[in-house]
Structures are given as C-alpha cells and as structure tokens.
Amino acid sequence: AAAVVAGGLSLEDGARVVALRSRVIVRIAGLGGMVSLPLPPAEVESRLRAFGGLCVAGFNGPTSVVVSGGLAELDALLAACEAEGVRARRVAIDYASHSAQVEEIRDEVLE
C-alpha cells in the first residue's frame, strides 16, 4: 500500500504483490513472531544484544517498540521481561514480519 501511495507501484502491481505475498507467506508461518515492548528504542536495542536472532521490526512511539524473530528467542525475551517487571506482549502474528525470516520469500515476491 505504501509503495502505491508513494507512486512506486501502480494500483494493479500493488494488488498483485499483496496477493502473491499472501500466498507465499505461509512458507514462513509458524517459524517466528513479534513482541511489543513498552520501552524506548535505545533500551530495546540494548536488550536485543542478549538475544541473537531478534531485530527491531518497528518503532511505534517514544516508548513503544516491536521486535521480531524466532519463537525460542521471543520466548526468552518475554521471560526476561516478565522477570524484570516489563509488560511485554506477543503480537498476534505467526511469522517474523520485518525480519530476516522474510528474506526467504523475497526473491519470489520480487519476481
């Protein structure tokens, strides 16, 4: 949608990309996820150094960051946050959007 609004894709091409992505995303479904953290970006980035395989997926505000990655790493992050009293929550998605996991389908979507 952003590429269409910005003029990078026609409406027709944008719709094709969305439809294709929906079909191929099932290949990475169940392999990862996302977690929302009520912390400033710098603190999240610092915490992620202890959890290989996780990355920042989005900055939603001054104290709202979403991270994505593998399930085991997200579980470890959630456990650490719970132990420290940080109210992190899993986002209802079954793949690691905005992460390296999406690279698996990149070439097919670009084609």
pLDDT of residue 78: 97
Pick the CATH number of 2-110 from 3.40.1160.10, 3.40.630.10, 3.30.70.250, 2.40.50.140: 3.30.70.250
6-15 pLDDT, tens per residue?
Answer: 999 999 999 9
Q: How far apart are CA 12 and CA 106, in angstroms?
A: 19
Is 51 in contact with 69 (CB distance < 8 Å)? yes
Can you list the pairs that 44-53 forms with residues at least 24 positions away whose Cβ atoms lie under 8 Å? Answer: 47/77, 47/80, 50/80, 51/76, 51/77, 51/80
Domain-by-domain residue ranges, the chain? 2-110
24-67 pLDDT, tens per residue?
Answer: 988 889 999 999 999 999 999 999 999 888 999 999 999 999 99
Residue 54 is given by DSSP the state -
